[in-house]
């Protein structure tokens, strides 16, 4: 066998194997009281103070900073942006993300904070029975059970501008969900759920529904759950018209309810290509409570596999054909 033939065969096999390997296209982990937000004492003149900003307060300024509907690129939060809530002015220094919320009442919002606040989260505030009655009468999604909140968080896939990603057989999306124990032990919540999300070929898809059994919670503070979605084998539901700018309550007739997963169009994950974003959708219904809760995701990572372009398939096929010819001639 000639050296040039060996080289071509080696190139073909290398190209083929490169398309079969999963890579991490996004990964994030919140750190206790440090990342992606922190207190003013730690931020000012500290490691993350690279934006020419000054923080004040406890670093919770982004804790309920997501108050508008999800509208694609216009819903972006970038490192260095600030949010003020009360006496807290906080600089965000985590990864770029896109977020939005649907809610029955102005009794909570979406937000992001360090892991002690449960990371990317829904913050639910105090809820009175009159709040629930008013929402139910208006047609709120929580009905007579409580006040419903939905929040979506999406992240850019690394190198998605140059690589066509799809889900291979071993690709997973993994989240560490943090559920405050008092959601169940003190009955502050009626329900809580999580779904992985993906944007592929310009469309948004929701993954498998994972519902938390609030009655089984125990211990103190928050209980964590590691949830894994097998990208290729999962059934993904198309979220029609996911990008909306209407910011009224979802009980209003004009609200698009774009974060509600009720579509009839589904696809197996292995058929998805052109993956540019990954993320998750949180849903919780808050019951009558005093003190509220923070339901969120402390860690999230996603894998995908590069999909060859047609010209690459042709190269692979040609090299394998060449290899078979060489083998036959040597026999």
Of the candidates 183, 199, 263, 264, the one whose C-alpha atom is nearest the C-alpha of residue 231 is 199
Four-point Cα dihedral 289, 214, 120, 91, nearest 10: 40
- Band the pLDDT of 326: cuts 50, 70, 90: low
Neighbours of 313 (CB within 10 A): 14
Count of all residues that appear for the chain in the document: 331
- Band the pLDDT of 133: cuts 50, 70, 90: very high
Q: Is the pLDDT of residue 314 over 50?
A: no
Over range 156-170, report the average pLDDT.
97
- Supply the mean pLDDT for the chain: 90
Q: How far, in Å, CA of 127 to CA of 148, rounded?
A: 11
Q: How far, in Å, CA of 85 to CA of 112, rounded?
A: 13
E strands, 34-105, in order? 76-77, 82-85, 88-91, 97-103
pTM of the predicted protein model = 0.89
The more confidently predicted of residues 249 and 312 is: 249
The more confidently predicted of residues 59 and 5 is: 59
Of the candidates 134, 110, 135, the one whose C-alpha atom is nearest the C-alpha of residue 251 is 135
Q: Is the pLDDT of residue 330 over 70?
A: no
Over range 249-261, report the average pLDDT.
92
Angle CA 107–134–216, to nearest 5: 60
Q: How far, in Å, CA of 115 to CA of 94, rounded?
A: 12
Query: Which whole-number Å values give the CA distances from 197 to 56, 164, 251, 269, in the listed order?
Result: 34, 17, 24, 11
- Band the pLDDT of 226: cuts 50, 70, 90: very high
Flag the least confident range among 74-88, 179-193, 250-264, 290-304: 250-264
- What integer pLDDT is reported at residue 60 of this predicted model? 96
Q: Cβ contacts of residue 78 below 8 Å, gap of 6+?
A: 92, 96
Q: Is the pLDDT of residue 327 over 80?
A: no
Of the candidates 121, 119, 153, the one whose C-alpha atom is nearest the C-alpha of residue 279 is 153
Over range 166-183, report the average pLDDT.
98
Q: What is the pLDDT of residues 93-111, one digit of tens each?
A: 999 999 999 999 999 999 9
- What integer pLDDT is reported at residue 21 of this predicted model? 78
Four-point Cα dihedral 260, 126, 220, 111, nearest 10: 50
Q: How far, in Å, CA of 194 to CA of 7, rounded?
A: 48
Q: Is the pLDDT of residue 316 over 60?
A: no
- Band the pLDDT of 253: cuts 50, 70, 90: confident
């Amino acid at each position: 066998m000639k050296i040039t033939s060996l080289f071509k065969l080696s190139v073909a096999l290398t190209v083929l194997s490169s398309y079969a390997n999963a890579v991490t296209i996004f990964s994030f982990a919140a750190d206790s009281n440090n990342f992606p937000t922190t207190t003013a004492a730690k931020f000012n003149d500290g490691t993350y103070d690279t934006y020419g900003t000054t923080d004040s307060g406890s670093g919770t300024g982004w804790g309920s900073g997501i108050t508008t509907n999800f509208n694609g690129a216009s819903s972006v939060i970038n490192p260095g942006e600030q949010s003020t809530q009360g006496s807290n002015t906080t600089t965000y220094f985590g990864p770029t993300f896109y977020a939005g919320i649907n809610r029955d009442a102005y009794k909570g919002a979406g937000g992001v904070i360090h892991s002690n606040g449960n990371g990317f989260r829904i913050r639910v505030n105090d809820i009175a029975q009159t709040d629930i009655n008013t929402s139910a009468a208006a047609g709120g999604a929580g009905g007579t059970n409580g006040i419903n909140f939905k929040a979506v968080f999406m992240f850019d896939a690394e190198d998605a501008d140059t690589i066509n990603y799809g889900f291979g057989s071993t690709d997973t999306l993994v989240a560490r969900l943090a559920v405050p124990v008092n959601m169940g032990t003190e009955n502050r919540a009626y329900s809580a759920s999580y779904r992985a999300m993906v944007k592929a070929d310009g469309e948004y898809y929701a993954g498998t529904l994972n519902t938390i059994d609030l009655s089984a919670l125990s211990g103190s503070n928050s209980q964590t759950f590691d949830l894994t979605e097998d990208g290729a084998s999962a059934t993904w539901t198309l979220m029609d018209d996911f990008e909306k700018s209407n910011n009224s309550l979802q009980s209003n007739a004009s609200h698009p309810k774009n974060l509600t997963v009720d579509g009839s169009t589904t696809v197996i994950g292995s058929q998805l290509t052109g993956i540019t974003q990954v993320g998750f959708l949180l849903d919780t219904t808050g019951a009558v409570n005093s003190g509220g809760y923070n339901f969120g995701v402390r860690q999230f990572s996603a894998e995908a596999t590069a999909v060859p372009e047609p010209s690459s398939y042709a190269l692979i096929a040609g090299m394998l054909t060449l290899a078979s010819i060489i083998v036959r001639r040597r026999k």
